[in-house]
Amino acid sequence: MNQLTTYGLIALQFLFYRLTIAAPNSTVVAINTTVAAPNTTIDVPRVQYYFFDDNYHLMDESNTTISGNKTLIVLVHGFRSSPWTGVVADLGKSLVQWTNSNVVLVNWSKWTQKMDYTDVVVRLPTVATHLVDWLNGLHDRGIIQSFDDVTMIGHSLGAHLIGYAGHRLNGTIKRIIGTYIIF
């Protein structure tokens, strides 16, 4: 895909997104990790991971053990949203209730709320690299045995983020599901 086509897709997404309503924010204690954005002078936002337990409570990583015999489902919210509101939060609760899976919500809202849409799109590969590093860390520690046991679900711009992450993992993720993708 050439540069002109790429920018055309970004512009189309930008125009369409301006017509939608963004979900409000909440605050929850979470795991913080710093991500370095390439060639930027802005403060580097954090990416956070929230673990759902069987009672639908968000838990700190130090209190959570991901069960190695369960599938890991990673949920990623979209632009100007958060992991605990809207579609992603509802889906997370349903997955915990109806599946025998570990459910993790990725919070990259500090990226999506401090920057314009086009700035966030340009930095998607950086956030995807962070997600890949986190997944590789779980794999290296033996928490997940194989990427065949991982499903990633992304909503809106989060779907593009997991697409980048899946590409960086060379297609080893079992399932990548995108919702509300605009082309």
Q: pLDDT (tens digit, 9 = 90+) per residue, 35-81? A: 444 444 444 567 888 887 765 566 655 556 677 788 999 999 999 88
Phi–psi pair at 29, nearest 5 degrees = -70, 140
Query: Which residue ranges make up each domain of the chain?
Result: 47-179
The HSE-up count of residue 118 (CA atoms within 13 Å, CB side) is 9
What CATH number matches the domain at 47-179, 3.40.50.10190, 3.40.50.1820, 3.40.50.150, 1.20.1300.10? 3.40.50.1820
Could you tell me what percent of the chain has a pLDDT over 90? 32
Tell me the CA distances in angstroms from 6 to 1, 10, 12, 69, one per residue in order.
7, 6, 10, 40
What is the predicted pLDDT for the residue at 40? 41
| Segment (H or E) for 62 | none
Full-model pTM = 0.72
Phi–psi pair at 100, nearest 5 degrees = -100, 70
- Looking at the DSSP bridge assignments, the partners of residue 73 are 103, 151
